[in-house]
Amino acid sequence: MEEFLKKIQAKHRIRDPLYGFIFFTDAEKAIIDTQIFQRLRRVHQLALTKYVYPSAEHSRFVHSLGVMHCATMILSGIYNHKYKKISSDPNELQIKTLRFSALLHDIGHLPFSHALEKHFLSGLKHEALSEYIISDPRISSIIESDGVDPKAVGALLAKKPPAKFRLLHEVISGQLDADRADYLLRDAHLSGAKYGEYDFPRFLQLFSGREDDDEHGHLTLFVDENDLHVAESMLIARYHYNLQIPYHRTRMGFDLVLERFIRDFPEYRDPFTVEEGRLTHVDLERFTDLDDCEIMERIKKEFRRDNPWAPYLLRAKHLIPVIDTSSNSSKGDRAYKDLVRALKNDAAFCEGADFFHRSQEVEIIKGAGTEFAEKPDDNGQAPARQSGMILLHSREGKGREPEYVDIRERSWIFKHFVQAPHTLYRVYVVAEKADRARDILAQVTA
């Protein structure tokens, strides 16, 4: 990786608990020093997970720096892999584009992680907001001053990037990308919950790349069959991580209350204009002030005004889980649906006041349960492919010649997570209604 850092003149450095030092350029430093990026210091990486694991206090700021560093290490591993089928090394422009995109991938994250996206952004994801911010002059002018196209930086975060950016996109937004690589290790290390740990040094040797056999010669990421276990181990780490950290039973209860609390304050949507499913305008001055601290101050004020939900968000009260099951249980889905139906029909319960429920798919593989074409469309767009975007370099071809196959053809683990997504089923009630809810559950499952 050192040769890449020298090529782009990354002469600044800061300490990091995972990587020792993270290096960055003058232009990257200029972005880091903007107020809109500094805002990420005030957005917790794991939202209210700190109410479960008290040391989970780290921010989106440190994660963003880590993803930039990790993406550079992955790119270095690709170009130093023994099975590399690429005729030239990445140029300065490609390295800079990748690093800017990695650094800015979470610039649009809302307070308290993903819990508030649907309320603030009318169902859009934070990536749409990140792309908008990258195009704003206060960020785009810095990128342009370093000889990089801001549109290319934003394109790496899009679901369907141009085919020429396919490999760089997979480094940042693929199935086993720099984003996941950093947060699995960082969240495990800083929360004390070890479920996301995996063999990081070995992971950095996982990927290689090849030029497509057509006139365009676009680059495609692949994994050698001898390294399949490394890819599988990271997938399993993410499975356990998701169950025990972002979708922890207690954390989910707090998220449900937070969503209910924020519904009473529609003014938080004011900075965002969404028209026909597109983000058309953002008041970035207002957005820069919108962080965890502002929402928490609102919670404290509402607590003094006897808001019914503020005590939960200050840990003075707790929702009680009465069903906590999953699609692994043959009876879990039915029990969940029957209880929700019974509570809705019971005069003593009001949804969103006395009880909450959630059917939550635990995403391990992006796009699981759907099918996508393998070839770019007529506009040259690389399709959003599920695990099919990970090609496996195999030596089981005709006459033992090397071939490239979908990783699902050789991995039961990848195939299983695509075909059978894992779903959590949970029902929570307020404490004073817990006994009644348990009685109803006993009746519907008898």
Residues 150-188: tens digit of each pLDDT = 999 999 998 888 888 999 999 999 889 999 999 999 999
Residues 293-345: tens digit of each pLDDT = 999 999 999 999 999 999 999 999 999 999 999 998 888 899 999 999 999 99
Q: How far lies 282's CA from each of 59, 128, 129, 141, 279, in Å?
A: 23, 11, 8, 18, 8
Give the mean model confidence (pLDDT) for residues 413-437.
93
Strand 12-16 relative to strand 20-24, pairing: antiparallel
Task: Of 139, 34, 147, give the one whose Cα is nearest residue 92.
Answer: 147
**Can you spell out the DSSP letters for 2-17?**
HHHHHHTT--EEEEET
Give the model's pLDDT for residue 27: 98
Give the model's pLDDT for residue 125: 87
Give the model's pLDDT for residue 124: 85
CB contact set of 304 (below 8 Å; sequence gap of 6+): none
Distance from first CA to last CA of the chain, Å, rounded? 61
Give the model's pLDDT for residue 117: 85
Q: Is the pTM above the cut of 0.75?
A: yes
Residues 207-240: tens digit of each pLDDT = 999 987 765 568 889 999 999 999 999 999 999 9
Give the model's pLDDT for residue 398: 58
Confidence of residue 366 (pLDDT cuts 50, 70, 90): confident
Percent of the chain with pLDDT over 90: 73
Q: Is the dihedral of CA 29, 35, 41, 46 positive or negative?
A: negative
Q: How far lies 237's CA from each of 34, 193, 313, in Å?
A: 34, 12, 29
Give the mean model confidence (pLDDT) for residues 187-212.
93
Residues 252-299: tens digit of each pLDDT = 999 999 999 999 999 999 999 999 889 999 999 999 999 999 999 999
- pLDDT over 60 (residue 380): no
- pLDDT over 70 (residue 397): no
- pLDDT over 60 (residue 372): no
| List of domains in the chain | 2-254+365-420 (1.10.3210.10)
- pLDDT over 90 (residue 392): no
Give the model's pLDDT for residue 378: 42
Q: Cβ(120)–Cβ(147) under 8 Å?
A: no
Mutual angle of helices 60-79 and 178-191, in 10-degree steps: 130
On average, the pLDDT of the chain sits at 90
Integer Cα distance of 414 and 197 in angstroms: 19
Give the model's pLDDT for residue 215: 54
Give the model's pLDDT for residue 401: 65
Tokens describing residue 87: 């005729």
> What letter would DSSP give residue 275?
E
